[in-house]
Amino acid sequence: MHAWWRCGLLLWALLSGCSGLEFSLILDQDAKGHKQNEAAVRALQAGDAERALQKLQKALRRHSSAALQNTVGVALMYLAKSRQPFSKDKLLQAALRAFNQTVLLAGGSLGMTGGANNGGKGRAKPQATGGSDLEVALANQALATRYVEASRLNRLGIQLDLQNRWEEAAAVLREAQKVAPSYDPLITSNLGTVIYKNATHRSSGWLEAEPLYERARELVQRAHKDLPGHPAVVKSLKEVQRLQSSLSAWRENAGLRELPVPRELLEAAAVRGTLVCTWSGGGSKFSKMALNLHESIRLNAPHWERAFVVLALDKETLLFLRGQNITTWLYETTDIYMTRWRLLAGIVASGFSVLLMDTDVVFLGDPFSHFFFDADFEVMTDHLFPERDLWDEKWRDEEHINTGFMFVRGSKPALHLVHGFIDAHHSPWDSEGPSVGGGFDLFDQRIFARFVRKQIQAGSCYSLLENMTYGKRHNASVLNPSVRVHHPEVIAHGASFFWLRSHRARGLHMPPVAHANFGRNKLYFMRDRRVWFVENLTERFSEPVHKDEYFPAAALPQDLFHGEADPFAGGSTRVRFLRYGNKAKAVKSSKSRLGEGSDKCVSHGVEANSLACHFLELLAALEVAVWLGRRLILPNSFNCSWSPMWEVYGMRTSFRDVHEDCTFDYFADAESFIKRFGHLLVEASFVKSEEFAALSKRSKMLRLDRLDLAEPRELRQLDASVLEVEGSVLALRDSLRDRYHEFTALGRALFPCKWIEFEAWFYARRPDQPAAVGSSRCGVQGLDCCAVYHGWAEKLEYFTGVAWDLPCDCGVGAALGCHPRDNGECARQDDEDAVVMDFAEMLDYKLEL
Ligand SMILES: *[C@@H]1O[C@H](CO)[C@@H](O)[C@H](O)[C@H]1NC(C)=O
Ligand SMILES: *[C@@H]1O[C@H](CO)[C@@H](O)[C@H](O)[C@H]1NC(C)=O
Ligand SMILES: *[C@@H]1O[C@H](CO)[C@@H](O)[C@H](O)[C@H]1NC(C)=O
Ligand SMILES: *[C@@H]1O[C@H](CO)[C@@H](O)[C@H](O)[C@H]1NC(C)=O
Ligand SMILES: *[C@@H]1O[C@H](CO)[C@@H](O)[C@H](O)[C@H]1NC(C)=O
Ligand SMILES: *[C@@H]1O[C@H](CO)[C@@H](O)[C@H](O)[C@H]1NC(C)=O
Ligand SMILES: *[C@@H]1O[C@H](CO)[C@@H](O)[C@H](O)[C@H]1NC(C)=O
């Protein structure tokens, strides 16, 4: 009997869209191995394809039959449905091979095409439903071939998309839609995605783009109905919706030069005719940054507090800010392209001077005392070597001015410059364009700096940096508008403050302002560098674990806490901590074991006292902390001089104190690390907080030799708020692993293996500079020493010629059991995925015989 898979019977049938095209089984009661075949089918119906394959594998060792081989193909197709592209293709290929083998066993030949009738040479028996084994085999083979081809075309489409070849990608994906035996939501979503990208980058303006956005949204929305919650589809849907809504905002405001401003409200706020202003949208979640800026002003430059005003872009933000007693007004728009400039024009036209900032700036002193008051604009730069590089057109325009911090004088020339800029950029399609794609550019910082550079070159604007002048002060007898650029050693961009500490070169203990514009995961950086002034630990530690499409938070094994409350799930009342590598403690302790830890790395194949060794210890400490139900306090023990930019970015001078150590974020991407592990840890500088001082009164040392006595439950219930690991945390981890088997499951859950890609496209390049070279490494999810973007990795070679040469896995992949496999995957030896792949490979081998 043939069993026809019905809609809803199996998950994969559901995913294939219930189009009625389904694979058939051969359930020949007389065939050898029939019992095992039936058992395998039952496992498959129960959704356990792995078990089905195991049964089939056993049966196939004894008998070789078309029925068994055919079920193998169906089981592999089933598995393929739920896999990521790479494994999926491998499994589809293996399924096709199994069906090919079925054709041979059913008496056909591989040259035959589907639909051939009763070609069976004796073996194929007529079936109740009218088809022979061979017919079934040929039909399955034909169907699998179409799936394989559709999958290949889909992958090709994705590759073309990555190369910005959207039109070609669209053609290929349309072909994939045709070839696919049934409607495939992922192909449809990918098609929608390349259509809106093409519309953005290839259209001449919004008239051309609008209908294409509409078409793209329809496609992605349809896919979203079938695959609700699929990360790639959700991402595309959000993006295309955002584009559509922005487009209407751009068009609506195209003729607008100045935002309306509440003059009386501003007059009441202004201090000596000057406002300190930012703008914010997105409700309380984002407005917390604005609140932090406000708090920093209140603490560090209280005489400017009254002048602080915020433009709210939506009603929720307005209400939130009002509730905080902040002077605010509403202008509803979703446009983040020209809003800053129209706001600036509105304020300046009303006669005020204004310091206009992004919300992720903090006052650490009074920036006004560092202004020169000799120019229409005084701005921050993103350069690292401004004396050498400012206004040199060999650099990217976005480096010259950081538009997140601009002091603008209420003067005619200032207004003239802003108006000129707005007039020339009604639509994001009006720009000359970045290097990629056509004219479309949303990055107003880049567009503005290019505008100013061209004005300087044309003799209608001039710029100042310290005692240097760029361009002409006058045209005929008329004074040109002027833009003073401040040195980042004083008006600090993110790289200067959060990493380089370059204000020390000016003898400053703190720069007057810092902008969290470099580095990914601002909140982490602001917390760790102690410029997050609105912390509420009660709220923070009871937050639910965040959901992120790209960097999912690490999930713990279900039975880890034996039914007791998960201390990391949020809502926990008492938070306890684990700390390790505390040198001060170790030095005091007579039984100091410092140094032992480093040697321990060697037994894991990692050089003692190396960067990799420190990361290995960090991950081991995290494992121990989580097992104990405690948050890990991140270490501040990385040797700063291991950084590739130590010499060339002048850290040797700014890190004067030889005992100064660095946090992990000098080497690894904070975004992926914190998003994955943030709910399990706190930043290193937590130990400098008052809260910690109170907690650490109840701290205790955790010694290796005490473990012999303790049950896991006892260890977990230790009352001390802070446990300090004495000696090597790696040795502690190893001994816990030996003792408690659930430790192994924890390590695996925390640190799944993953290719950590070297993304050369992200690295800034001068026209004459070769592409950055680096290599992807088989490492663990969440730890990435190549993606340290926004000032570190991606601009180092660009500005200095020194390459960012850290291994992408931070040197710990192999020590954590992650290895590249022959089939190209990065996996642990015993990963479930790997087991399935091995099985598929074993079948291949069998088939090739
Ligand atoms: C299956 O057989 C077809 C010929 O019918 C051939 O084109 C294809 O390459 C084979 N596929 C595999 C994976 O063996
Ligand atoms: C790509 O964009 C161009 C310009 O708007 C348009 O003419 C073309 O039809 C688009 N192609 C696709 C596949 O959407
Ligand atoms: C806002 O101001 C009012 C009146 O001065 C005061 O009662 C209230 O506590 C303030 N709210 C905040 C959040 O500071
Ligand atoms: C200089 O000023 C004259 C007269 O106002 C004007 O025509 C000319 O365009 C200006 N040149 C530049 C480069 O702005
Ligand atoms: C600017 O100042 C520096 C240091 O004070 C000096 O070496 C340099 O010559 C000055 N440059 C100009 C253009 O005055
Ligand atoms: C911190 O947040 C909690 C919970 O929302 C609140 O009850 C408490 O008053 C806050 N503490 C401070 C100092 O604002
Ligand atoms: C940091 O590393 C450098 C270079 O390897 C070494 O000379 C220095 O002693 C190290 N510093 C500390 C505090 O270990």
* pLDDT tens by residue, 622-655: 999 999 999 999 999 999 999 999 999 999 888 8
- 308-328 average pLDDT score: 96
Which of these ranges, 84-98, 241-255, 694-708, has the smallest mean pLDDT? Answer: 694-708
Which of these ranges, 121-125, 676-680, 738-742, has the smallest mean pLDDT? Answer: 121-125
* Rg for the chain, CA atoms, rounded: 31
Tokens coding 562: 């034996």
Question: In sequence order, which residues have a C-beta less than 8 Å from that of residue 735 and are 6 or more positions away?
Answer: 704, 707
Which of these ranges, 88-97, 290-299, 420-429, 703-712, has the smallest mean pLDDT? Answer: 703-712
- 498-506 average pLDDT score: 94
Report the nearest-CA residue for atom 11 of ligand 7.
Answer: 639
Ligand 2 neighbourhood includes 203 CB (under 6 angstroms): yes
**How far is the centre of ligand 2, averaged over its atoms, from the C-alpha of 201 (Å)?**
9
Q: How far is the CA of 495 from the CAs of 385, 492, 635, in angstroms?
A: 12, 8, 21
- pLDDT of residue 121 exceeding 50: no
pLDDT of residue 841: 58
Per-residue pLDDT tens digits for 167-186: 999 999 999 999 998 899 99
Q: CA 521: distance to chain centroid?
A: 9
Report the nearest-CA residue for atom 1 of ligand 7.
Answer: 639
pLDDT of residue 742: 79
Ligand 5 neighbourhood includes 369 CB (under 6 angstroms): no
pLDDT of residue 195: 98
pLDDT of residue 658: 57
**How far is the centre of ligand 7, averaged over its atoms, from the C-alpha of 814 (Å)?**
25
Report helix angle 85-105 to 66-81, nearest 10.
Answer: 170
Ligand 2 neighbourhood includes 170 CB (under 6 angstroms): yes
Ligand 5 neighbourhood includes 387 CB (under 6 angstroms): no
pLDDT of residue 698: 77
**How far is the centre of ligand 3, averaged over its atoms, from the C-alpha of 277 (Å)?**
21
**How far is the centre of ligand 3, averaged over its atoms, from the C-alpha of 516 (Å)?**
29
Task: Point out the ligand nearest to the CA of residue 534.
Answer: 6
**How far is the centre of ligand 5, averaged over its atoms, from the C-alpha of 166 (Å)?**
51
Q: Which helix (H) or strand (E) holds 39?
A: helix 34-45
Q: Which residue has the higher pLDDT, 259 or 715?
A: 259
pLDDT of residue 7: 31
**How far is the centre of ligand 3, averaged over its atoms, from the C-alpha of 320 (Å)?**
13
Give the whole-angstrom CA distance, residue 761 versus residue 163. Answer: 10
pLDDT of residue 809: 97
Atom of ligand 3 nearest to the CA of 325: 1
Give the whole-angstrom CA distance, residue 617 versus residue 598. Answer: 9
pLDDT of residue 593: 45
Ligand 5 neighbourhood includes 84 CB (under 6 angstroms): no
Q: What is the mean pLDDT of the chain?
A: 87
- pLDDT of residue 278 exceeding 70: yes
Angle at 510 between CA 509 and CA 514, to 5 degrees: 165
Q: Which amino acid is at 684?
A: A
Atom of ligand 1 nearest to the CA of 96: 13
**How far is the centre of ligand 3, averaged over its atoms, from the C-alpha of 325 (Å)?**
6
- pLDDT of residue 1 exceeding 70: no
User: Could you say which DSSP state residue 699 is in?
Assistant: E
**Is the Cα torsion angle 41, 44, 46, 48 positive or negative in sign?**
positive
pLDDT of residue 615: 97
pLDDT of residue 640: 92
489 and 509 Cβ atoms separated by less than 8 Å = no
How many CB atoms neighbour CB 298 within 10 A?
14
| Domain boundaries defined on the chain | 4-151+832-846, 263-514, 537-751, 754-827
Task: Point out the ligand nearest to the CA of residue 168.
Answer: 2
Most confident of 24-28, 71-75, 453-457: 453-457
Q: Which residue has the higher pLDDT, 807 or 822?
A: 807
pLDDT of residue 827: 87
Counted residue by residue, the chain has a size of 849
Atom of ligand 1 nearest to the CA of 847: 14
**How far is the centre of ligand 7, averaged over its atoms, from the C-alpha of 585 (Å)?**
20
Give the whole-angstrom CA distance, residue 328 versus residue 121. Answer: 85
- pLDDT of residue 679 exceeding 90: yes
Fold of 263-514: Spore Coat Polysaccharide Biosynthesis Protein SpsA; Chain A (3.90.550)
Ligand 2 neighbourhood includes 167 CB (under 6 angstroms): yes
- pLDDT of residue 282 exceeding 90: no
Report the nearest-CA residue for atom 1 of ligand 2.
Answer: 198
Per-residue pLDDT tens digits for 555-585: 999 888 887 888 898 766 689 999 998 766 5
Ligand 5 neighbourhood includes 573 CB (under 6 angstroms): no
Strand bridging mode 577-579 / 377-380: unpaired
**How far is the centre of ligand 2, averaged over its atoms, from the C-alpha of 195 (Å)?**
7
**How far is the centre of ligand 1, averaged over its atoms, from the C-alpha of 99 (Å)?**
9
Ligand 5 neighbourhood includes 468 CB (under 6 angstroms): yes
Confidence at 320, pLDDT banded by 50, 70, 90: very high
- Give the pocket of ligand 4 (CB within 6 Å): 458-460, 475-476
Per-residue pLDDT tens digits for 521-549: 999 999 999 999 999 999 999 888 888 77
Give the whole-angstrom CA distance, residue 525 versus residue 513. Answer: 15
pLDDT of residue 629: 93
pLDDT of residue 849: 24
Report the nearest-CA residue for atom 11 of ligand 2.
Answer: 167
Ligand 2 neighbourhood includes 415 CB (under 6 angstroms): no
Task: Point out the ligand nearest to the CA of residue 323.
Answer: 3
Report the nearest-CA residue for atom 4 of ligand 5.
Answer: 467
Q: How far is the CA of 160 from the CAs of 153, 441, 626, in angstroms?
A: 10, 21, 42
Per-residue pLDDT tens digits for 705-750: 666 667 777 888 888 999 999 889 999 999 888 888 778 889 999 9
Strand bridging mode 631-633 / 577-579: parallel
pLDDT of residue 275: 98
Give the whole-angstrom CA distance, residue 344 versus residue 366. Answer: 21
Angle at 732 between CA 731 and CA 734, to 5 degrees: 65
Which of these ranges, 62-76, 285-299, 375-389, 457-471, has the smallest mean pLDDT? Answer: 62-76
Report the nearest-CA residue for atom 13 of ligand 7.
Answer: 659
pLDDT of residue 86: 62
- % of the chain at pLDDT higher than 90: 62
Where helices occur in 106-230 by DSSP H, the ranges are 133-162, 166-179, 185-202, 206-226
Q: Which residue has the higher pLDDT, 843 or 432?
A: 432
Report the nearest-CA residue for atom 14 of ligand 1.
Answer: 97
Atom of ligand 6 nearest to the CA of 542: 4
pLDDT of residue 261: 97
pLDDT of residue 437: 42
User: Could you say which DSSP state residue 497 is in?
Assistant: I
Ligand 1 neighbourhood includes 452 CB (under 6 angstroms): no
pLDDT of residue 144: 94
pLDDT of residue 712: 77
- pLDDT of residue 590 exceeding 60: no
408 and 354 Cβ atoms separated by less than 8 Å = yes
pLDDT of residue 128: 37
**How far is the centre of ligand 4, averaged over its atoms, from the C-alpha of 468 (Å)?**
24
